[in-house]
């Protein structure tokens, strides 16, 4: 059975841009967010309050939030790794944040400068304080289907990390295939393990990168298992600066094309979205990797 509606969590302005070498001007980021809202997307992950030396592209987080004109009915979540990041986010007026854990030891070290176990005490006060302030918290887990240094990851390990973050008070768990190695059977296994660890499938989101062209098949598999929130990036922008071999996210256009075909409502205007990605591709100086953007705007 498939859902009647899918909520798209658009990560283009954050996951999409964080890996870009040339710093994208604040005005371009703000226009990108405005165009995405105009295309009907209602969750726009806007930026990250991480250490500016770690992700220079998003050092302008506060400026971007100050410069954008928030649209009614649109939320603008941001990534927050620690209490310093939370202080900065709250000062900027943020109401939705996401912490981002790792399912593997190596990626915890490389992405967070913490061991797998040390990540939890870093996130716990962030989640507790945010929830106390009425701020909604999503939990990401990265490397849920494979890690470039450690290889395959046990589904029970992913489930244990995810359940521990959810127990802190997060409202949603986004399972990340950071390097895009998942295939549908493996997606089923991880979702089953997460459900067995006590996380309701209705609070699970999937976050696929399209490195091996499997992101849509994986998404359809997840929808059949009851997932109704899918992360994607306009034009298929993206990658993680701290993950070897990570390429772009599932393109929002590819996702919307499939969901439109299935008669599943997203509220997104594909035409406006493709125009936005074509516009962004010009700003970045290279074509969008999305097949649908190329087919529509080639
Ligand atoms: P650290 O160096 O261990 O930090 O970095 P620290 O706690 O030791 O602090 C060192 C200094 O940094 C201190 O300054 C802090 O104040 C400052 P000092 O006292 O020395 O002058 N500092 C900060 N400044 C600004 N904002 C902050 C902040 N925190 C500390 N938030 C840290 C630890 C977690 C901060 C660092 O490792 C970091 O920023 N990592 C982020 C990496 C990142 O953003 N990766 C990409 C996002 S994850 C992803 O893409 C995957 C995802 O898409 C899902 C998927 O695909 O799997 C979500
Ligand atoms: Mg990602």
ipTM of the complex: 0.98
Residue 226 pLDDT exceeds 90:
yes
**Residue 251: CB within 6 Å of ligand 1?**
no
**Residue 250: CB within 6 Å of ligand 1?**
no
Mean pLDDT value of segment 247-271: 97
Q: Smallest Cα–Cα separation from 124: which of 80, 174, 155?
A: 80
Say what percent of the chain tops pLDDT 70.
99
Q: Which residues are catalytic?
A: 240
Q: pLDDT-derived band of residue 242, with 50, 70 and 90 as boundaries?
A: confident
Separation of alpha carbons 208 and 233, rounded Å: 10
Identify the residue whose C-alpha is closest to ligand 1 atom 32. Answer: 112
Structure confidence at residue 246 (pLDDT) = 73
Say what percent of the chain tops pLDDT 90.
94
**What are the pLDDT digits (tens) for 109-160?**
999 999 999 999 999 999 999 999 999 999 999 999 999 999 999 999 999 9
CA angle, 229 then 97 then 234, to 5°: 50
Residue 162 pLDDT exceeds 90:
yes
Q: pLDDT-derived band of residue 240, with 50, 70 and 90 as boundaries?
A: confident
Mean pLDDT value of segment 225-232: 98
Highest mean pLDDT among 118-132, 244-258, 283-297 belongs to 118-132
**What are the pLDDT digits (tens) for 41-64?**
999 999 999 999 999 999 999 999
**Residue 57: CB within 6 Å of ligand 1?**
no
**Residue 247: CB within 6 Å of ligand 1?**
no
- Distance from the alpha carbon of residue 229 to the mean position of ligand 1, in angstroms: 26
**What are the pLDDT digits (tens) for 80-115?**
999 999 999 999 999 999 999 999 999 999 999 999
Q: pLDDT-derived band of residue 245, with 50, 70 and 90 as boundaries?
A: low
- Distance from the alpha carbon of residue 49 to the mean position of ligand 1, in angstroms: 8
User: For ligand 1, what atom is nearest to the CA of residue 176?
Assistant: 57
Question: Which residues, by Cβ under 5 Å, contact ligand 2, an ion?
Answer: 15
Ligand that lies nearest to the alpha carbon of residue 81, given by its number in the listed order: 1
132 CB contacts (<8 Å, ≥6 apart)?
A: none
CA distances from 208 to 60, 166, 186, 211 (A): 26, 20, 13, 9
**Residue 84: CB within 6 Å of ligand 1?**
yes
As a whole number, the mean pLDDT across the chain is 96
Structure confidence at residue 217 (pLDDT) = 98
Mean pLDDT value of segment 181-209: 98
């Amino acid at each position: 059975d498939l859902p009647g509606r899918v909520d798209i969590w658009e990560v283009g302005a954050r996951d999409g841009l964080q890996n870009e070498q040339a710093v994208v001007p604040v005005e371009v980021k703000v226009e990108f967010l405005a165009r995405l809202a105009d295309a009907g997307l209602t969750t726009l992950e806007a930026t990250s309050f991480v250490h500016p030396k770690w992700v220079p592209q998003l050092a302008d987080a506060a400026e971007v939030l100050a410069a954008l004109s928030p649209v009614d009915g649109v939320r603008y979540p941001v990534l927050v790794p620690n209490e310093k990041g939370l202080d900065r986010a709250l000062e900027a007026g943020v109401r939705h944040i996401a912490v981002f854990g790792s399912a593997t030891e190596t990626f915890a070290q490389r992405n967070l400068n913490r061991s797998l176990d040390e990540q939890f005490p870093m996130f716990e006060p962030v989640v507790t304080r945010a929830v106390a302030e009425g701020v909604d918290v999503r939990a990401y887990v990265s490397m849920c289907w494979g890690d470039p240094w450690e290889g395959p990851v046990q589904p029970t390990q992913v489930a244990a990390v995810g359940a521990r973050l959810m127990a802190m008070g997060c409202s949603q768990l986004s399972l990340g295939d950071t390097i895009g190695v998942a295939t549908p059977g493996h997606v089923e296994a991880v979702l089953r393990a997460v459900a067995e660890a006590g996380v309701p499938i209705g609070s699970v989101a999937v976050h696929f990168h399209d490195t091996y062209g499997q992101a849509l098949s994986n998404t359809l598999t997840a929808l059949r298992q009851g997932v109704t929130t899918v992360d994607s990036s306009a034009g298929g922008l993206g990658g993680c600066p701290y993950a070897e071999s990570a390429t772009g996210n599932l393109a929002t256009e590819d996702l919307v094309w499939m969901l439109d075909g299935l008669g599943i409502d997203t509220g997104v205007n594909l035409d406006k979205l493709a125009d936005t990605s074509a516009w962004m591709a010009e700003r970045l100086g290279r074509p969008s990797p999305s097949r649908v953007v190329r087919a529509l705007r080639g």
